[in-house]
Structure 1
Amino acid sequence: METSQKQSSESMSQDLSELLKEATKEVHEQAENTPFMKNFQKGQVSLHEFKLVTASLYFIYSALEEEIERNKDNPAYAPVYFPAELHRKAALEEDLKYFYGRNWREEIPCPEATQKYVERLHYVGRNHPELLVAHAYTRYLGDLSGGQVLKKIAQKALQLPSTGEGLAFFTFDGVSNATKFKQLYRSRMNALEMDLATKKRVLEEAKKAFLLNIQVFEALQELVSKSQENGHLVQSKAELRARSVNKSYEHGPAPRKESERASRSQTDLVATSPLMRWILALGFIVTTVAVGLFAM
């Protein structure tokens, strides 16, 4: 019994960043080995799924960053407070405005699973701020690690502008060297003062963060499936909009913004089977986590 406790104590003396990596290894491997990730790496993702993912990420990061601001002076989080380098809410707002237009706030969906994730983030931030680092580490370092890979894939697959519109989420302007920044972040995280009991709770919270993400994946899969039931109606409306734009400018070229919107509408109409569409949707989200955490 004493030997077991001693071994547990010794293992917990490891750096927090290493403990987190080990604790989430199993669920990380499950995500990494799914066929969904391979689909996205092949560029098999539609604009519709991409927009749904971006919307859910907006709600998640809004909650996370609200709680980070609440606890920015708390010793349990202050050492890893890097708003200029990491915060994503503003970037996601930029992307959503590009995809949905100026009234994007009224159009984006928030599935129940996403709301559950949001509620957990608020609960942790208000009641157990020492656990907030688990969520920040899981999201930020994952996105920073895999962001550039995902950015290039999405840009090519969705034929997004080379100037970066629609991809602000993946662009970390405040980080000039991702490798060095991640080293700095880990060193700050490892310096957080935690007893063994708190470290264990942080590790459990990191696992919970993965489970919450998986539930979001499943909810978005259901959302995409439902949209397929009325797919012909969505397609007809999109076609009418595209025709209207083309007719309005049949005697001359359409302005650049209208042309881009028509192009995005046409991209939404890529013919895929219902089964493939939800696979692609889930594939993008899993990849966002799996590819990112691979380099953590």
Structure 2
Amino acid sequence: MSAEKMETTSVSNGAGPVYEEKEDSLSPEDLSEMLAAGTKEVHEKAENTQFVKDFLRGRIRKELFKLGAVALYYTYTAMEEEIERNKDHPHFAPLYFPAELHRHEALARDLEYFYGPEWQSQVSCSEATQCYVDRIHQVGQEDPVLLVAHAYTRYMGDLSGGQVLKKVAQRALKLPPTGEGLEFYQFDAIHSAKAFKQLYRSRMNELELDMETKKRLVDEAVKAFQFNMEVFEELEEIGKTIKEDVLDAGMPVHGEMGGDISKCPYYAAKMAASGGTAYACQIAMAVLRHPTGQVLFATWFAALAGLAAWYLM
């Protein structure tokens, strides 16, 4: 993310007021810049896990899509419980946007769509997801400032690459045009994702934090990526036991593209999410040629694609 001068941005939150925010020239010591630089290496590792590579090849087991949604539900429920607990904390209050951002209720509706009215009796928190959940509760109760790292990496990702992939998933899964099954990706109270992300980063950079605390936040964001990788690895192992409807759309991974990373659909998704119109067209064309790949993008990988989008903004 390059430092740049931003114009004043008007953003309306779910309650109605309009916030006027101005983002000045960014400094390497701004929290958003430190997070981008500090998580670059672990992001690349997450992108190159076997689970993600398999997604890029277009290999899918339908059940994994639902299990990914289950993992997200438990993760967001924990995070939003701790956000509510700490909504008045001086190091989190400026980032409290429940109407705009909270996802656990939307995920519950998605799970009801996929599993039926009794979905709660059919799902459970997996071991890897439970570790993620436990860490979120720990920081929320013992060191609330670290919630900033978890909220930032998750929500900013949801507003970035996840949005690029919503319609792709809808088409691949033959879901209703009214949005059932994909409410996780729908932010009704946010009219401009780009403007809201600018507001969020500005608020975050204005938090009164010393350098040591900022470094701890970077470390916590790295942990968040690691928890995601553990969930990917767990889903990969589960996938080995599922013998249903596996198709290979032949989508190449980075190593099979002759070094041209721009041909990777994941890379195109990140570029599109950052506001590039040309790349938005490219990702649409590339993915629509690979219906199985559309399904793959829609799960946890969709969320991961979004996590990296803010590097390019």
Please indicate the TM-score interval, normalised by the length of the shorter structure: 0.7 to 0.9
Contact persistence 1:155–1:162 (CA under 8 A) = yes
Alignment of 1:240-251 (within 5 A): none
**Which residue among 155, 159, 165 is the counterpart of 1:140?**
155
Alignment of 1:19-168 (within 5 A): 19-32=34-47, 40=55, 45-168=60-183
Corresponding residue number in structure 2 for 1:270: 245
**Which residue among 286, 289, 296 is the counterpart of 2:304?**
289
Q: Deviations over 1:114-153 (max 9, x none)?
A: 0000000000000000110000001000111112212122
Corresponding residue number in structure 2 for 1:205: 220
Corresponding residue number in structure 1 for 2:274: none
In the alignment, the residues of structure 2 paired with residue 147 and residue 13 of structure 1 have an alpha-carbon distance, to the nearest angstrom, of 27
**Which residue among 186, 203, 207 is the counterpart of 1:188?**
203
Offset at 1:206?
A: 0.4
Measured at CA, do residues 192 and 209 of structure 1 come closer, stay the same or move farther in structure 2, by a change above 3 Å?
same
In the alignment, the residues of structure 1 paired with residue 108 and residue 88 of structure 2 have an alpha-carbon distance, to the nearest angstrom, of 26
In the alignment, the residues of structure 2 paired with residue 122 and residue 29 of structure 1 have an alpha-carbon distance, to the nearest angstrom, of 27
Corresponding residue number in structure 2 for 1:177: 192
In the alignment, the residues of structure 1 paired with residue 44 and residue 166 of structure 2 have an alpha-carbon distance, to the nearest angstrom, of 22
In the alignment, the residues of structure 2 paired with residue 295 and residue 13 of structure 1 have an alpha-carbon distance, to the nearest angstrom, of 15
Q: Normalization by structure 1: what TM-score? A: 0.74
Aligned length: 242
Question: What amino acid is aligned across from residue 270 of structure 1 in structure 2?
Answer: D
Q: Deviations over 1:155-203 (max 9, x none)?
A: 1221111111100001111110000000000010011111111111111
In the alignment, the residues of structure 1 paired with residue 138 and residue 299 of structure 2 have an alpha-carbon distance, to the nearest angstrom, of 28
Contact persistence 2:59–2:296 (CA under 8 A) = no
Offset at 1:285?
A: 2.3
Question: What amino acid is aligned across from residue 15 of structure 1 in structure 2?
Answer: D
Q: Deviations over 1:260-283 (max 9, x none)?
A: xxxxxxxxx53448xx99xx8699
Greater alpha carbon shift after TM alignment, 140-149 vs 122-131: 140-149
Q: Deviations over 1:238-264 (max 9, x none)?
A: xxxxxxxxxxxxxxxxxxxxxxxxxxx
Q: Deviations over 1:73-112 (max 9, x none)?
A: 0001001001011000010001000000011111113211
> Sequence identity, in percent?
55
Measured at CA, do residues 145 and 178 of structure 1 come closer, stay the same or move farther in structure 2, by a change above 3 Å?
same
Greater alpha carbon shift after TM alignment, 168-177 vs 281-290: 281-290
RMSD: 2.7
Question: What amino acid is aligned across from residue 146 of structure 1 in structure 2?
Answer: G
In the alignment, the residues of structure 1 paired with residue 134 and residue 230 of structure 2 have an alpha-carbon distance, to the nearest angstrom, of 14
Structure 2 unaligned spans of 5+: 1-25, 252-291
Offset at 1:36?
A: 5.7
Corresponding residue number in structure 2 for 1:8: none
Question: What amino acid is aligned across from residue 127 of structure 2 in structure 1?
Answer: E
